[in-house]
Amino acid sequence: MNIERINLGLASPVLNNILNTNNQIVETNSSFSNILDSAIRMFDEASVLENEASNLQIDYATGRTDDLLAVMLAEQRAHTAVTFTTQLTSRILDAYRQIMNMQI
């Protein structure tokens, strides 16, 4: 059985740099600062998705659009992006703390 990744509109250069087809989190030759920079860019992208969802909600509430499906999908994309970014950032910071606590 062939299982493919579901695309919810979250495909971006930042996510593509972090996730590869083998579902590995990072490439082995990436530096920690590059990974942290990617997480920061992902936060910015999540913020953009949240703003788009908010604008669609306002448009729906004021009657400028009647496409409830688009509003719900935008909200779900924003929620997924924020959740993913938060989890990734916390894992990166945990890894950084463990590295800093290592004794040489």
The pLDDT of residue 71 is: 94
Domain boundaries, the chain: 35-101
Query: For residue 8, what are the CA distances in angstroms to 60, 73, 85, 93, 97?
Result: 21, 8, 15, 27, 33
Q: How far apart are CA 88 and CA 68, in angstroms?
A: 30
Compute mean pLDDT per 10 residues along the chain, 104 residues long, and list them.
49 51 48 78 90 95 93 94 89 88 84
Can you tell me whether residue 92 is helix, strand or coil? helix
pTM listed for this prediction: 0.61
